[in-house]
């Protein structure tokens, strides 16, 4: 049985010629760790971690442009 924590991942991309990022994909994250685990939640399928702030919806933002820059290094 896995932890029941969830979050939303927004994948963004910068619009060429502007300083604006737009969301191009919305993915639901599901914590794949055991219930009552220590530390941040983790979705193994999406390779994302997040921390729940009590009383707030959990959202993670991933910038595609940053991902591409890291792969080029």
Mean pLDDT (whole number) for 4-27: 88
Contact (CB, 8 A) for 11 and 64: yes
Statement: residue 24 has pLDDT above 80:
yes
- Give domain status of residue 67, yes or no: yes
Angstrom distance (rounded) from CA 58 to CA 28: 10
Q: What is the pLDDT of residue 23?
A: 87
pTM: 0.73
Return the residue matching tokens 């794949």.
32
- Give domain status of residue 1, yes or no: no
- Give domain status of residue 51, yes or no: yes
Angstrom distance (rounded) from CA 72 to CA 40: 28
For residue range 33-70, list pLDDT tens digits in order: 999 999 999 999 999 999 988 777 788 998 887 655 55
Domain count, the chain: 1
**Residue span of the structural domain in which 61 resides:** 6-72
Angstrom distance (rounded) from CA 14 to CA 63: 8
Mean pLDDT (whole number) for 17-44: 91
């Amino acid at each position: 049985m896995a932890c029941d924590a969830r979050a939303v991942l927004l994948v963004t991309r910068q619009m060429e010629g502007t300083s604006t990022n737009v969301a191009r994909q919305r993915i639901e994250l599901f914590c794949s760790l055991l219930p009552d685990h220590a530390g941040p939640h983790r979705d193994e399928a999406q390779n994302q971690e997040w921390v729940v702030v009590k009383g707030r919806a959990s959202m993670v933002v991933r910038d595609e442009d940053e991902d591409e820059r890291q792969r080029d290094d």
